[in-house]
Amino acid sequence: MLEVSRAQSDAADTADFRCIRPSGIARQYLRTVVHMTIAEHGYRPTAEQRRRWLDQAAASTPVLYEVSCTPVGLVTCVADATAWQGWRMSPAGTMADLAGRKLKRGDRVLIDLGEHLVGYLELRLSSAGNPPDSPGRFRVCVFETPAEAADPDTPWAVELSRAWFQDERVTVDVLPTVIRMPRRSAGRYVLIEIIDTSIGWQLVIDAVRMHYVGAAPLLLPAPETLMSPAMAAIDRVALRTLRGCMQTVFEDGPKRDRRLWSGDLRLQALVDGVSFHKTALVQRCILLLAAGTRESDGVLPACIFERPNPHPAADVILDYALLLPAILQDLAARPDADRELIRDLLPLARRQLEIGLSFVGADGLMLPPPGWWTFIDWAPGLDKQAALHGIMVYGLRAFARVAADFACADLAADLVAPTARLVERGRALLWDESRRVVVSGAQRQISWASPAWFALAGIITAAEAADALEHAMHQADAIRPGGPYLMHHVVHALWISDRRERALQLIGDFWGGMVERGADTFWEVYDPTQPAWSPYGDARMNSACHAWSCTPSWFLRGGCVA
- Scanning 94-102, 254-262, 416-424, 450-458 for contacts with a second copy by CB under 8 A, the matching segment is 254-262
Q: Pick out residues in 278-307 that bind a second copy (CB under 8 A).
A: 305, 307
Query: Among 34, 36, 39, 175, which residue interacts with a second copy (rule: CB under 8 A)?
Result: 175
Q: How far is CA 42 from the centre of its chain?
A: 29
CB of 516 to a second copy, least distance (A): 32
CA 507 to CA 510: how far, in whole Å?
Answer: 5
Closer Cβ to a second copy, 165 or 448, answer by number? 165
Contact between 537 and a second copy per CB under 8 A? no
CB of 159 to a second copy, least distance (A): 5
Contact between 153 and a second copy per CB under 8 A? no
CB of 215 to a second copy, least distance (A): 18
Closer Cβ to a second copy, 14 or 161, answer by number? 161
CB of 199 to a second copy, least distance (A): 5
CA 430 to CA 444: how far, in whole Å?
Answer: 8
Query: Among 85, 198, 475, 534, which residue interacts with a second copy (rule: CB under 8 A)?
Result: 198
CA 374 to CA 369: how far, in whole Å?
Answer: 8
Q: Pick out residues in 132-151 that bind a second copy (CB under 8 A).
A: 132-137
CB of 290 to a second copy, least distance (A): 18
CB 546 within 8 A of CB 378: no
Closer Cβ to a second copy, 4 or 314, answer by number? 314
Return all residues near 48 (Cβ < 8 A) that are at least 6 apart: 22
Burial of 503 (0-12, 13-18, 19+ CB in 10 A): buried
Return all residues near 50 (Cβ < 8 A) that are at least 6 apart: 290, 291, 293
Q: Which amino acid is at 24?
A: G
Closer Cβ to a second copy, 136 or 298, answer by number? 136
Q: What are phi and psi of 214, to 5 degrees?
A: 175, 160
Closer Cβ to a second copy, 31 or 307, answer by number? 307
CB of 263 to a second copy, least distance (A): 16
- Scanning 73-81, 193-201, 470-478, 521-529 for contacts with a second copy by CB under 8 A, the matching segment is 193-201
By three-state DSSP, how is residue 311 classified? strand
CA 285 to CA 522: how far, in whole Å?
Answer: 22
Site string for a second copy, 111-130 (x = CB under 8 A): -------------------x
CB 247 within 8 A of CB 64: yes
Site string for a second copy, 362-381 (x = CB under 8 A): --------------------
By three-state DSSP, how is residue 118 classified? strand
Return all residues near 92 (Cβ < 8 A) that are at least 6 apart: 73, 74, 75, 76, 110
CB of 294 to a second copy, least distance (A): 13
By three-state DSSP, how is residue 210 classified? strand
Query: Among 3, 159, 363, 477, which residue interacts with a second copy (rule: CB under 8 A)?
Result: 159
Sign of CA dihedral 465, 468, 471, 473: negative
Closer Cβ to a second copy, 24 or 537, answer by number? 537
Contact between 64 and a second copy per CB under 8 A? no
Contact between 195 and a second copy per CB under 8 A? yes
Site string for a second copy, 95-114 (x = CB under 8 A): ----------x---------
- Scanning 73-81, 197-205, 472-480, 483-491 for contacts with a second copy by CB under 8 A, the matching segment is 197-205
Kindly give the pairing relationship between strand 185-196 and strand 136-143: antiparallel
CB crowding 528-559: b at 16 or more within 10 Å, else e = eeeeeebebebbbbbbbbbbbbbbbbbbbbeb
Q: Which amino acid is at 414?
A: D
CB of 368 to a second copy, least distance (A): 22
Rg (CA), the chain: 25
**Would you tell me which residues interact with a second copy (CB under 8 A)?**
105, 130-137, 159-164, 168-169, 171, 173-177, 183, 195-199, 256-257, 259, 305, 307-308, 311, 313-314
